[in-house]
Amino acid sequence: MILTEILAPGAVKVLPKASSKKRLFCDLAGIARDVHGIDYDTAFSALQERETLGTTGVGLGVALPHARLPDLDEVHGVFVRLEHPLDFDAMDRKPVDIVFALFAPEGAGVAHLKALALVSRTLRDPGLCAKLRANADPAILFTVLTEMQASEAA
């Protein structure tokens, strides 16, 4: 699995302000609806529900909210960079400014786990995260996210 299989260029955004997790989840659900045709209410509710189980803030300013949804055939991703970091109750208590949300089919056990592992591995790279934080153009952010895997696959 590679990021371009789950992330479309239009699903990469820079958000000027997210005042809360709830507001961020609204934005993520809206992008998922607009780019992937995912039902907004279902996506929003699933993100909220998953977050009640424990924070998806993994540390170092990164959050990986994810949800399983009915009526999906494949895993879809949404990436946002926040201009102003948001308190996310992350494990290291640092605010979050890099968010990669995943939406997977309800029965996609292995595919969902592979996608989570891929995104987690990708965003553990401090150099890559520095590049993401230094850019505000969604096209550049998409390229930064996907170029490393493209060069490895070549």
Q: Tell me what pLDDT residue 147 has.
A: 85
Domain count, the chain: 1
Q: What average pLDDT does this structure show over 7-23?
A: 93
pLDDT of amino acid 46: 96
The residue segments making up the domain with residue 15 are: 3-153
Q: Report residue 140 as tokens.
A: 């550049």
How far CA 19 is from CA of 26, 34, 61, 78, 146, in Å, comes to 11, 21, 16, 19, 28
Work out the average pLDDT over 20-45: 96
Establish whether 76 is a catalytic residue. no
Mean pLDDT across the chain, nearest whole number?
Answer: 91
